[in-house]
Amino acid sequence: MNMTIEQAGRMLADAVSYTDERRLHDALTLLRRQAPVHLVQAPEYDPFYAVTRHADIMAIERDHTLWLNEPRPILGKAAFEKLAREQAAQGIALKTLVHMDDPQHRVIRAIGADWFRPKAMRDLEGRVQELARRYVDRMAEFGGECDFATQVAVHYPLYVILSLLGLPESDFPRMLKLTQELFGGADAETRRGESAEDQFAVLLDFFAYFQDLTAARRAHPTEDLASAIANARVDGEPLSDIDTASYYVIIASAGHDTTSSTVAGGLHALIEHPAQLARLREDPGLLPLAVDEMIRWVTPVKEFMRTASADTILHDVPIKKGESVLLSYPSANRDEEVFTDPFAFDIGRDPNRHLAFGFGVHYCLGAALAKMELKALFAELLPRLESVELAGEPEWTATTFVGGIKHLPIRYKLR
């Protein structure tokens, strides 16, 4: 490995390093072994400690009174974080579940939680299967070649989440563009513009759309998640416009690129590991385990951050109140201390204690939904797929936050 620990650490603050997974994992392996809590000082970023071991990430997430999501829940360039702080001080910034700590977090999370429980999932299953069938049928229409990432993987999860929210299908293309602009912020192909102002303009567009939705659902409540959010009361009061809009934004955005990256990355992993694909075809009962392995393999959420609410010590490294740590989920999910042969893609891996959905009080609200979507798509696709191969080089999103394969050219035969 021809890199120093400092170089390895700085890769975590460089969106482009996530487009080369082999090199990224070399860096993460080095950090796990030699500097599991490492101070990163990268140009354009405020300093942070990179935490790369599975056990340390779990311990931090478990201790949610010491380690807070506010004021720095995700990594951004210093200019962007500064603007976000200023906007928060003026009460005009996005404040979603990931920006909150208890007691507020618990109360606000409870508003949406019922919509992600097993009963709600069972009610939604038919719609998800229908969408899965629609997208596999569409693959048949493409005539044996497509960019699976842009033509299938990107659409399907967004349409599932928008169905859950209860939005009309005619609005789906607009939401697709906005969520991509929001999450693909660092990638030249998807971002609206380079500046922090451009990124905030995307948020403002989201807000405008969802403000109208709130008004409509308050006037005429319907049986969907959007109505539950619009009509929720905390201490007898409805949520403010900004809190309502923030809720929609977190659902629409968190439920989208995460799952679509895993759909594309999951198929890519099966193509790259034909023995595993054959094994899954022979024994479809392995699909639930295979889905978890795809999620571990892809780990579409690259990081969340926590900030110390008191002075503390992590692996002999003193961390002061107000300093931040970056939890590297891709690193946790290749940790040799936890996974046997972590760099092997094994669709029968059991147990699979990956941290792709995080851990503790912020554990992904949509984890059961994401798994259901992945199962539905592969349950529909695999029995109909006679053959599949790469038809070009895949490409990865440049992002330090959420992403994965953004282009996956494939050639295939469908029954």
Annotate each residue in 54-83 with x if it binds ligand HEM (CB under 6 A) or - if it does not, as one string: -------x----------------------
Least distance CB 78 / ligand HEM (angstroms): 22
Site string for ligand HEM, 366-385 (x = CB under 6 A): x--xx---------------
- Among 406, 268, 404, which residue's Cα sits nearest to residue 330? 404
Decide if 398 contacts 18 (C-beta within 8 A). yes
H helices within 145-286, ranges in order?
Answer: 148, 155-165, 172-183, 196-219, 225-230, 241-254, 257-272, 274-282
Structure letter (DSSP) for residue 17: G
Question: Taking CB under 6 A as the rule, does residue 165 contact ligand HEM?
Answer: no
Write the interaction track for ligand HEM spanning residues 294-313; mark x where CB under 6 A is met and - where it is not.
Answer: -x----xx--x---------
d(Cα 173, Cα 179) in Å, to the nearest integer? 10
357 in contact with ligand HEM (CB under 6 A): yes
Site map (CB under 6 A) of ligand HEM, residues 248-267, x = contact: --xx--xx--xx--x-----
Strand partners, 237: 234
Print burial letters for 183-195: b (CB count within 10 Å at least 16), e (below 16).
bbbbbeebbbeee
**What distance in Å separates the CA atoms of residue 284 and residue 379, rounded to the nearest whole number?**
8
Stretch that binds ligand HEM, among 30-38, 227-235, 247-255, 403-411 (CB under 6 A): 247-255
CB-nearer residue toward ligand HEM: 30 or 362:
362
How far apart (Å, rounded) are the C-alpha atoms in residues 248 and 162? Answer: 10
Residue 96 or 412: which CB sits closer to ligand HEM? 96
Q: Which residues contact 87 (CB under 8 A, 6 or more apart)?
A: 93, 200
Nearer to ligand HEM, 196 or 294 (CB): 294
Alpha carbon 270 to chain centroid, angstroms: 21
Applying CB under 6 A, among 207, 297, 359, 412 the residue interacting with ligand HEM is 359
Span of 119-127, 231-239, 357-365, 381-389 interacting with ligand HEM by CB under 6 A: 357-365
Q: Are 108 and 234 in contact (CB under 8 A)?
A: yes
Nearer to ligand HEM, 358 or 412 (CB): 358
Under the criterion CB under 6 A, does residue 271 sit at the interface with ligand HEM?
A: no
Interacting positions 13-52 with ligand HEM (CB under 6 A): none
From the CB of 263, what's the least distance to ligand HEM, in Å? 9
Minimum Å gap between C-beta 381 and ligand HEM is 17
**Residue 176 CB neighbours (<10 A):** 18
Smallest separation (angstroms) from ligand HEM to the CB of 23: 22
Whole-angstrom CA distances from 342 to 59, 227, 258, 264 are 21, 43, 21, 20
Q: Are 245 and 206 in contact (CB under 8 A)?
A: yes
- Residue 167 Cβ vs ligand HEM, minimum distance, rounded to whole Å: 13
Residue numbers at the binding site for ligand HEM (CB under 6 A): 61, 97-98, 109, 161, 250-251, 254-255, 258-259, 262, 295, 300-301, 304, 329, 356-360, 362-366, 369-370
